[in-house]
Amino acid sequence: MLSKQQVEFYHEEGYIVVEDVLDKALLTKLREVTDEVTASAADLTESNDIIDLEPGHSGETPAIRRIKRPHLAHEFYLELCAATCITDSLVPLIGPDIRLRAGGKVNMKSAGFGAPVEWHQDWAFYPHTNDDVLAVGIPLDDMDSNNGPLLVLPGTHKGPVYDHHSQGAFCGAIDPTTVDIDFSKVVALTGKAGSMTIHHARLIHGSELNRSDRQRRLLLYEYTAADAWPMAGVEPLSDFDEFNKRVVRGSPTIEPRVEPVPIRMPFPKAPYQGSIYENQRSLSHNYFDHSPEAKRAEAT
């Protein structure tokens, strides 16, 4: 359970880091399962519904950007999302009734070239009727300043929802040339494997290239209060039972709590679909360096 100081810090700054959340057995199991899913990508020649491949991926040197739907690849990911070692820390932040928004994802940054993620707010992708919405990150590897840690801009969750569109369509990223944001205020969320980051859905965040010779894998789960309903509707509308099955703690409700929160809808849809990496391809101006030359230089 979080301390009063941690809860206050989260509400003021928009994030916290909790140490030693997963015990040794859980962390070992998570790594084993993720290695198993990663190995299954060796036979892939293109991304699919579960695996998002890095450019340059091959059977000899598999390179994965993201496990997009880990819960479809292995049941352990669904078991872990409901573990009390995780959800105990969420109750004082979003209440006793908690829903998993989707099945999670594992962002993978391969040693020396793991792709960056441009600045964005999760809220831009999935606005809800209230903002008791957050994301949890569990590093499978020690996360430090060199291997592409999660970067956040403290306090930005209390500001506006920024435009995540480019050329008339959603792109899942903020154009750094069009906003008045002080990017020098960035904080890197570093920590040991098995720790946990928590950030508010409106907090601006991103990540750089992995400059190190070590991989950096981060399991992400998105949670909402059970009475926070998606503004785009239950998806699919015919699967309300599945929506309720995502409640991992407490009870579901058919009474959404509606609060005056800032909303921008993610439409028209991004021209490149499949993952945030694909969405962000249409961003007009990048903040982080994506060039192969930068990746090679930083890896040496």
The CATH number that applies at residue 171 is 2.60.120.620
Decide: 121 and 201 in contact? Cβ < 8 Å: yes
Q: How many domains does the chain have?
A: 1
Phi, psi for residue 244 in degrees, rounded to 5: -70, -30
pTM: 0.93
For residue 56, is it within any domain? no
For residue 225, is it within any domain? yes
Q: Which domain holds residue 84?
A: 14-37+64-299
For residue 42, is it within any domain? no
For residue 116, is it within any domain? yes
For residue 59, is it within any domain? no
Q: In tens digits, what is the pLDDT along the chain, a chain of 300 residues?
A: 899 999 999 999 999 999 999 999 999 999 999 999 988 888 888 889 899 887 777 777 777 889 998 988 899 999 999 999 999 999 999 999 999 998 899 999 888 878 899 999 999 999 999 999 999 999 999 999 999 999 999 999 999 999 999 999 999 999 999 999 999 999 999 999 999 999 999 999 999 999 999 999 999 999 999 999 999 988 766 689 989 999 999 999 999 999 999 999 999 999 999 899 899 999 999 999 776 444 434 433
Express each pLDDT in 192-246 by its tens digit.
999 999 999 999 999 999 999 999 999 999 999 999 999 998 876 668 998 999 9
For residue 211, is it within any domain? yes
